[in-house]
Amino acid sequence: MPIPEDERGTEEQLKNERLNHGRIDDPPLDEKFEVYLKEFRPLAPHPLPAESHAHATRRWLVLAAWAATAAAVVAVAILAFHTRTGRVAPSVESSAIADQLAKPHALTIRSANALLSTAPSFKDALDQMAFPPKQSPLPADKRSALAELSKEKIKL
């Protein structure tokens, strides 16, 4: 801001004015007038909307944080689901293939027809389809302990 008056000039002006008005420096007069002016209290301003504003800002931040967290959780869940299904599908496929490979005599329409024609009864045919007789993995010169134990007659 430009200074409109020179300091010394202002002092001189003030002194001259006081002399012209017949009031040579009169500190008590100034002091009393200052006291009188101070009796007027400035009006209080309107309440600061800072509290509500800050709360609103904080609320938005909290909401944004929650939204971000929820979005992150959903994203992670989707990713995990995709990853798991992506891994499970091939494993199911591969296990089915492995089962297919492991079963030398898989159930087919042809084998089912054969079973139905050779089995003594329909129930036996179904049993053989459901529980096909497993070939013993043991060589001919070895015996299964489970088979031996099953032969024993336990007396209670």
Partner 1 sequence: MHPNRTDAAEIESLYRQHGAALLLFASAITGERSRAQDALHHVFLKLIEDGNLRHALDKKAYLFACVRNAVLNEAKIRNRHTPLDSDSARFTAAWFTSPDRDYAAERNLRHALSGIPDEQREVIVLHIWGELTFAQIADLLEISANTAASRYRYALAKLRETMLPAVNDKEDPCANSRG
Tell me which residues touch partner 1 (CB under 8 A). 1, 3-5, 7, 10-11, 13-14, 17-18, 21, 26, 28-30, 32-46, 48-51, 53-54, 57
Find the shortest distance in angstroms from Cβ 72 to partner 1. 22
Side chain identity at residue 107, one-letter code = L
Nearer Cβ to partner 1, position 3 or 154?
3
DSSP 3-state assignment of 93?
helix
- Distance CA(85)–CA(62), nearest Å, equals 34
Give 57 or 95: the residue with its C-beta nearer to partner 1: 57
Considering the complex, what minimum distance in angstroms separates the CB of residue 39 from partner 1?
Answer: 4
CB neighbour burial string for 79-102, b if at least 16 within 10 angstroms, e if fewer: eeeeeeeeeeeeeeeeeeeeeeee
Instruction: Give the N- to C-terminal CA distance of the chain in Å, as an integer.
Output: 115
CB 50 to partner 1: min, Å:
5
CB of 70 to partner 1, least distance (A): 23
User: In the structure encoding, which two tokens stand for residue 155, read together?
Assistant: 């007396």
- Residue 45 or 133: which CB sits closer to partner 1? 45
